[in-house]
Amino acid sequence: MHNDSTFDDARFQQLIDRRSTESVKWNYYDEDVLPMWVADMDFLCPPAIIEALRQRVEHGIFGYPTEPPRLRSIIVDRLKRRYDWSIEPEWIAFIPNVFAGFHLAAHTVARPGDGVLLTPPVYFPMLLVPKNVDLRGQLVELDRAEDGTYSVPFDRFEAAIDGRSRLFILCNPHNPVGKVYSREELEQLGEICLKHDIIICSDEIHSDFIYDDHKHVPIAALSPEIADRTITLMSPVKSFNVAGIPFAFAVIPNRELRKQYQGSGKGLVIHPSALGFTAAMAAFEHGDGWSNDLVKVLQANRDFAAEFIAAEIPGIKMTPMEGTYLAWLDCRNTGIEGSPYEFLLNKASVASVEGARFGPGGEGFVRLNLACPQSRLQEGLKRIRNALT
């Protein structure tokens, strides 16, 4: 066993019943199905968040909230500490979630018939943007190497740009393939977008889940010129497992772009809730120690899954995971006829996400959520192995 796969922390190995909590993850499928699909972790969120919410709830009044006075400075400090990214407090715009965030970006910078660049296989809600905002999706499929790693085909990326291309939606770390973009890759993407006057909307919601020798680099941190044309989306909801309490923020250094962005949501996009602000404050101010321990647990789960699949399920190839907690499994050599998602659901009673939903390059793959106690992960992998043997 890889050393990291033995990392154990009792806080993250507790099996918690979630079916009584209106959990979409646990209640969408029949009770015999092990849910390893939606990006929702089976871990208790940090005690500091639970305590902050408890105190807020006990106050008993939940009127219209204003943002906590120290929240912006806490976010500024955290981005500097974790990513060496220096921002100004006024660059931050609060939004309810990242899904609304990249749609807002499209409304802000594009008009019907304009083009939006996407690099599939990619987080499938991003693929909804062209249809939802009446744009043209300009899809540039990532290259997949023999070892399963992915890269951007820069020549094809630039060739896809035309006179009406307005927006590039970047997913970094990249969901579902688990890629963490290097500084050099981001610089090349940034230069192409600058050259062609493309606004970048960078979804960095998984930026706290980085493994081994990789490092998260916000694309807006590369240069003032790139920052001036970038909308960066971040949120605590994945990092601290509070997806049921919506909260996110956009970092937009360009004053005019920020003003337009905030104006695009009027009447449609509401501010975060009182509890959203409370959870975010506690997470950003007190949650980093918990988050660092969580990443060790997730890296141990990643290593366990990779070793188990290589040894026990040779028909499946697990894509090397540099970040996120979502495994991208190549099922094309398993002999499964038709959808691997349907096969795993019906024959293994394991719920994953159909790879084809992530666009071109996703056919024959599934995405599997590894963010659960290792005993539950082992159970899911054993079910898959048994169904294929």
State the alpha helices, DSSP H only, in 162-253: 183-195, 224-227
pLDDT the model gives residue 7: 52
* Cα–Cα distance, 158 to 201 (Å, whole number): 17
* Res 2 pLDDT > 90: no
Q: What is the pTM of this model?
A: 0.96
* Res 1 pLDDT > 70: no
pLDDT the model gives residue 265: 85
Give the domains, in start order, of the chain with CATH numbers: 3-47+288-388 (3.90.1150.10), 62-286 (3.40.640.10)
DSSP one-letter string for 56-117: HHHH---------TTHHHHHHHHHHHHH-----GGGEEEES-HHHHHHHHHHHH--TT-EEE
DSSP one-letter string for 309-364: HHHH-TT-EEPP-SBSSEEEEE-TTS---S-HHHHHHHHS-EE-EEGGGG-TT-TT
pLDDT digits (tens, 9 = 90+) for 178-229: 999 999 999 999 999 999 999 999 999 999 999 998 999 999 999 999 999 9
pLDDT the model gives residue 4: 38
**CB within 8 A of 359, min separation 6: which ones?**
118, 120, 121, 122, 124, 127, 139, 141
* Cα–Cα distance, 48 to 45 (Å, whole number): 8
Query: CA dihedral in degrees (204, 206, 211, 217; nearest 10)?
Result: 10
* Cα–Cα distance, 358 to 175 (Å, whole number): 9
Q: Dihedral of CA 124/127/131/132: which sign? A: positive
Quote the tokens at residue 88: 């100004």
- State percent of the chain over pLDDT 70: 98
* Res 6 pLDDT > 80: no
pLDDT the model gives residue 99: 96
Question: Across the chain, what does the average pLDDT equal?
Answer: 96
pLDDT digits (tens, 9 = 90+) for 291-315: 999 999 999 999 999 999 999 998 9
pLDDT digits (tens, 9 = 90+) for 120-152: 999 999 999 999 999 999 999 999 999 999 999
pLDDT digits (tens, 9 = 90+) for 38-49: 999 999 999 999
pLDDT the model gives residue 385: 98
Split at pLDDT 50, 70, 90, the class of 110 is very high
Q: What angle do CA 285, 237, 133 make, to 5 degrees?
A: 130
* Cα–Cα distance, 203 to 285 (Å, whole number): 22
* Res 252 pLDDT > 60: yes
DSSP one-letter string for 250-295: EE---HHHHHHHHHHTTTT-PPPPHHHHHHHHHHHHH-HHHHHHHH
* Res 5 pLDDT > 70: no
- The DSSP element (H or E) to which 48 belongs, if any, is helix 47-59
Does residue 373 sit in helix, strand or coil? Answer: coil
**CB within 8 A of 385, min separation 6: which ones?**
308, 312, 313
Cβ–Cβ under 8 Å, residues 235 and 279? no
Locus of tokens 């204003």: 66
pLDDT the model gives residue 8: 57
* Res 100 pLDDT > 90: yes
The stretch 318-346 carries a mean pLDDT of: 97
